[in-house]
Chain A
Amino acid sequence: AQKVTQAQTEISVVEKEDVTLDCVYETRDTTYYLFWYKQPPSGELVFLIRRNSFDEQNEISGRYSWNFQKSTSSFNFTITASQVVDSAVYFCALSEAFRTGSARQLTFGSGTQLTVLP
């Protein structure tokens, strides 16, 4: 069975600070996909990144960066120079590899509420 753990329930930082959101996952598959979604106060789920299990290169997109470490089953998300608009709930999610006839539903972590104070 798959499991995603986001141990940080709430994080509060002051604007311009860097913040890292932790994500630890469990899966029996050797091929899988990891995701991060953002849920702002308006409620929609915004896709941020998808990473497959064969690609352990860190990724940077503007102020966002992701650190994937298969050895520790972690997929952490760092926001550099945080801004008030980054305040949201952030979800890490896991999807199994495709098997013929199977589905790829997402297993979500419990989310981390990030509050960036001005």
Chain B
Amino acid sequence: DSGVTQTPKHLITATGQRVTLRCSPRSGDLSVYWYQQSLDQGLQFLIQYYNGEERAKGNILERFSAQQFPDLHSELNLSSLELGDSALYFCASSVGSGSTEQFFGPGTRLTVL
């Protein structure tokens, strides 16, 4: 158990809908990363937050957004969902912004029908 929690574990929704994925980092970790694992794109970095502020952006679509709250949990919002958004979404946390050691949560499996 990495200490990173993600909810829900599974999510099934329809095209055009909007969903929110939640992540709670390990106690003491200030940085949260979101990754997407899909059959087409593999595992790719989406976005990072550090202590409430966006720190880095990767291949994140404009339909996706994220935020980190004062209690350091983070939410990834996916809107206008398409079939291709079906994927496993991982959250990872680390102590600092530049920490090399990231601890991954169990992931949220999103299925868009």
Contact = CB atoms under 8 A, between A and B. Distances in A.
Interface residues of B, number: 28
Counting contact residues on chain A (CB < 8 A from B), the size range is 20 to 34
Interface stretch (B18-26, B61-69, B76-84, B103-111): B103-111
B101 A50 contact: yes
Interface in B41-71: 42-45, 48, 50, 55-56, 58
Contacts of A104: 94, 97-100, 102
Contacts, number: 61
**Most A-side CB within 10 Å, residue of B90, B97, B98:** B98
A103 B100 contact: no
Interface of B: 2, 31, 33, 35, 42-45, 48, 50, 55-56, 58, 88, 90, 94, 97-107, 109
Given A43-B106, A103-B48, A106-B45, 16 more contacts: A33-B100, A37-B104, A44-B107, A47-B101, A52-B100, A102-B56, A103-B55, A104-B99, A105-B45, A105-B56, A105-B58, A106-B33, A106-B102, A108-B42, A108-B44, A109-B42
